[in-house]
Amino acid sequence: MNGMRLRALLWLTLAVVLAIAAAVQFAGPLPLQSNLLALLPPTERNPVAEHAVSRLAEAAGDRAIFLIGRPKADTLELGKAARDFGAQLRASEVFRSVVDEIPPFDPQQLARFYFPYRFNLLGDGDRAASSDLVERLQRKLYTPFQFGPGYPLADDPFGFGDAWLAGLPLKTLRLETQDGLLVARSGENVWAMVSAVLPGSAYDGSIQTRVAAAVAGAEARLKQDFPGLEVLRTGTVFYAGAARQSAEREVDFIGAGSLLGMLLLLYLVFRSLRPLALGLLSVGFGVAAAATVTVAVHGELHLITLVFGASLIGEAIDYAVQYLAAHLGAGKGWEPMAGLRRIAPGLLTALATSLLSYAALMLAPFPALSQIALFALVGLSAACASVFLLLPWLLKAPGKRDPEAAVALPRRFLVGWKKHVGRRACLTAAAALLALSAPGWSRLASNDDVRILISRPLALVAQEEKIRELTGFGNSSQFFLVEGKTPEEVLRNEERLLEKLAPLAGDDDKSVLSGYLGVSMFVPSANRQAHNRQRWERSVFADERRLRELLSDASLRDELAERMIEDFANSKSHVLSVDDWFQSPLSTPFRHLWLGKVPGNGAGHFAAIVQPQGIRDVGRLAVLSGALDGVTFVDKAGSVSRLFQEYRQWGIVWLLGALLLIYGVLCLRYGPAQSVFMLLPTALALAVVLGAFGYMATPLTLFNLMGFMLVVGVGVNYAIFLREGGVNAAATLAGVLLSAGTTLLSFGLLAFSSMPALSSFGLTLLLGICVAVLLAPMVLSFMPEASR
């Protein structure tokens, strides 16, 4: 009795410590991380590339973009609607800034910006080959139309400046300005763009809520004032908000579903409220400890961990269930400590195998897996500890129910099983199952797409695609990283890259990509500027008398030639630099391309990115970058997929390793031969589920493998519990069925998660646990006669 009290006191102390720690930790908002990519380890070997990826993601992530329009919209009405919408967003005071009106874009501003540097600049065509000056002058004079930005005849008689301006990659965005609005057009449809900058991270829950409310308000107002107008939106904040909402819904649904189902099952078996309270207490202690320790170690709780944690309840309750089953089976002869001692080996073996399979997950250098593993390790240990420390004291009185009557059904089943199912029948069944599953194995496929981790609401994806199509905004997960010791070196490396890209770009299907964007297209390296100047010198200014004649013959005023010669001489020291370019407001849409000084790789390191557009053959781009110094092709989505693939392949090895470890633990208690039979139901479950996936054409993902690890850990538990049942075999079977029922309820519900990762995890468990528990009684048939 005294021992029991001491234990209970120890538990109480632990609970108080835990409560204080939890109170301290969760005093503020729950540090819930909804950025799914934050779960992944760095995927790039080059740290600068990782930096560039996050810079780009931030640049794109902290804004929301809206397009307002409808078929055949009246532009005046549209302008008013867009400004009203912008004003509404501004009035909500949620956004740092809202842009609905832009200063008129003056194409001549570009011409003016480059004017002082014009003798350092040449278009690609003019750099490659010299051309006849007379012909150029004629073309400049007689062209009936000049399109886009250009210079007046007096400033650029040979059109070299026009050619440079024409080569600037300004077409990348399909937006145009009209009446101070940015508009996109497709056919007869007109859309006005409004953009807004968030006050903080798109993954911040309170920002998500406020943004959602502000946008909903502005949208409702717009629909009221301008019926028929449509609003498209995109932005990380909407995706992250949707992910958080669905995760919260799922935690509620799965958590509540599994809890209610479990309580119902517990009540059906034990017909008393006391076991319910005890089960909840042990699970509650486990989950609270898990959450507190995980946040303490990782600083945040990822929502994928939270959803997983909601389902861990089903496994954590198993230990309490076994204790309660022992109580039920003992009937009037219940002696708490003796009962505990009897089930202790089984509980500890079961805990050890579960911990081993989770510990295997923890070894993965993958924050998601190690966070889930830590959560499970702590949660299960704490729940199990509650059973050892607290339950004996709380459940002292022997049960009033007749154990025979309470477990009559399981007992009849056991008697029937022992009578009819022998070793031979089990082996035949095992062989038959293997034979049935084997054809499925050959049909197994795999899927490592990043989308198995990130599911995005279809409505939002459709809107984003439409916005992409209308505006020409590109994606930001694939790009070239260009590095150098100085900005000049970066520009030179970039120019070498662009020279290789140029022949690959085009609009036809055979091209590798449709276009590209880089800073050196606006600012040539000083080296190239010097070469350009030399070319100017050779082709235009080498013979000043001829230049004068040429211009005079074309009836240009004489002073123009003099001015040109003078300007050329005076511009010798003018070199356009990246900084000059960034001083100009014209560079705003392109600033993200220049990373400037970056950390890592030693001091004085600079980097820029080149964004390829309309990529049709990613492989070629990756190969291309391999051959160039200072250029790396970064493909975040591709890297993540490769990572998934790597872990999926390793996962198979881990799985085999975990099976071996568990076999080792089992051998300690059951000996080598019997341990094989203990593992048989679980191994068969794996085989059958793999076969089923093959037949169902469900590709294997990393998350299925994670599911298999749990099937192994939990499946072996059932075998252990049944085998350890001994005199209380019937009550134990009831307990095992109960455990399986609760686990199926909790993990099985994950199969309905909207997150593909969790649903494939859940499906694996649903199938695997069903098979494992159905086959678990096999261990009874293989038990040596003596211990039966």
Partner 1 sequence: MKKIRSLLVGLMIATTTLVSPLPACAADVLNQIGAQIEQFQVIRAEFVQTKQMAALKRPLVTSGHLTFSRQHGVLWQIEKPYRVSYVLGETKIVEIGGSGGDSVRRVRETRDVPGLAQVGRVFRAMLGANSDTLREYFDVAAQGTPAQWSIALTPRQSQLARFLSGMQLTGGRFVEEIRISEAGGDDTRIRLSNSQGAAALNDAEATLFGTENDGSGR
Catalog residues that contact partner 1 under the rule CB under 8 A: 75-76, 104-108, 138-139, 141-150, 152-154, 166, 170-171, 174, 176-179, 185, 555-557, 560
- Closest approach, Cβ 173 to partner 1, in A, equals 9
Question: Parallel, antiparallel, or unpaired: how do β-strands 97-99 and 63-70 relate?
Answer: unpaired
- Between 75 and 475, CB nearer to partner 1: 75
Q: Which residues contact 75 (CB under 8 A, 6 or more apart)?
A: 178, 179, 183, 190
Q: Smallest Cα–Cα separation from 565: which of 542, 581, 587?
A: 542
CB contact at 8 A, 497 and 629: no
- Closest approach, Cβ 77 to partner 1, in A, equals 12
- Between 139 and 443, CB nearer to partner 1: 139
- Closest approach, Cβ 71 to partner 1, in A, equals 15
- Closest approach, Cβ 246 to partner 1, in A, equals 39
- Between 46 and 178, CB nearer to partner 1: 178
- Between 114 and 319, CB nearer to partner 1: 114
- Between 46 and 108, CB nearer to partner 1: 108
Range list of β-strands (E), 168-262: 176-178, 181-186, 189-197, 230-234
The angle formed by the CA atoms of residues 748, 749 and 752, to the nearest 5 degrees, is: 115
Enter the tokens of residue 284. Answer: 């509650």
Taking residue 314's Cβ as centre, other Cβ atoms within 10 Å add up to 29
- Closest approach, Cβ 543 to partner 1, in A, equals 22
- Closest approach, Cβ 117 to partner 1, in A, equals 20
- Between 104 and 626, CB nearer to partner 1: 104
- Closest approach, Cβ 75 to partner 1, in A, equals 6
Quote the CA–CA distance of 143 and 575 in Å, as a whole number.
31
Enter the tokens of residue 221. Answer: 């107002």
- Between 422 and 589, CB nearer to partner 1: 589
Q: How far is CA 29 from CA 244, 248, 301, in A?
A: 14, 15, 11
Quote the CA–CA distance of 681 and 660 in Å, as a whole number.
15
CB contact at 8 A, 655 and 709: yes
What end-to-end distance do the CA atoms of the chain give, in Å?
A: 33
Q: Token pair 């309750």 is at which residue?
A: 317
Taking residue 665's Cβ as centre, other Cβ atoms within 10 Å add up to 18
- Closest approach, Cβ 185 to partner 1, in A, equals 7
- Closest approach, Cβ 68 to partner 1, in A, equals 18
**H/E stretch holding 618:** helix 618-626
- Closest approach, Cβ 555 to partner 1, in A, equals 5
Enter the tokens of residue 329. Answer: 């089976």
Quote the CA–CA distance of 714 and 267 in Å, as a whole number.
22
Enter the tokens of residue 444. Answer: 């197994």
- Closest approach, Cβ 553 to partner 1, in A, equals 11
- Closest approach, Cβ 142 to partner 1, in A, equals 6
- Closest approach, Cβ 122 to partner 1, in A, equals 16
**Partner residues linked to 33 by β-bridges:** 302
- Closest approach, Cβ 563 to partner 1, in A, equals 11
Quote the CA–CA distance of 268 and 261 in Å, as a whole number.
11
- Between 147 and 419, CB nearer to partner 1: 147
- Between 165 and 301, CB nearer to partner 1: 165
- Closest approach, Cβ 73 to partner 1, in A, equals 12
- Between 29 and 147, CB nearer to partner 1: 147
Enter the tokens of residue 266. Answer: 């517990």
Taking residue 482's Cβ as centre, other Cβ atoms within 10 Å add up to 32
- Between 184 and 773, CB nearer to partner 1: 184
- Between 560 and 622, CB nearer to partner 1: 560
Residue 727 DSSP symbol: G
**H/E stretch holding 62:** none
- Between 395 and 501, CB nearer to partner 1: 501
Q: Smallest Cα–Cα separation from 691: which of 440, 432, 446, 429?
A: 440
- Between 125 and 672, CB nearer to partner 1: 125
Dihedral sign from CA coordinates of 485, 490, 491, 496: positive
Question: Parallel, antiparallel, or unpaired: how do β-strands 189-197 and 181-186 relate?
Answer: antiparallel
Report DSSP letters for 745-765, one per residue: HHHHHHTT-SSHHHHHHHHHH
Quote the CA–CA distance of 637 and 76 in Å, as a whole number.
41
Quote the CA–CA distance of 708 and 768 in Å, as a whole number.
7
Backbone angles phi, psi at 735, to 5 degrees: -60, -45
- Closest approach, Cβ 484 to partner 1, in A, equals 30
- Between 20 and 141, CB nearer to partner 1: 141
CB contact at 8 A, 291 and 775: no
Quote the CA–CA distance of 289 and 297 in Å, as a whole number.
12
Residue 503 DSSP symbol: G
Q: Smallest Cα–Cα separation from 709: which of 754, 672, 658?
A: 658
- Between 76 and 786, CB nearer to partner 1: 76
> b or e along 673-686 (b: 16 or more beta carbons within 10 Å of the residue's beta carbon)?
ebbebbbbbbbbbb
- Between 155 and 495, CB nearer to partner 1: 155
- Between 335 and 469, CB nearer to partner 1: 469
Q: Smallest Cα–Cα separation from 502: which of 521, 484, 483?
A: 521
**H/E stretch holding 116:** none
Residue 107 exposure: Cα atoms within 13 Å on the Cβ side: 14
- Closest approach, Cβ 104 to partner 1, in A, equals 5
- Closest approach, Cβ 110 to partner 1, in A, equals 9
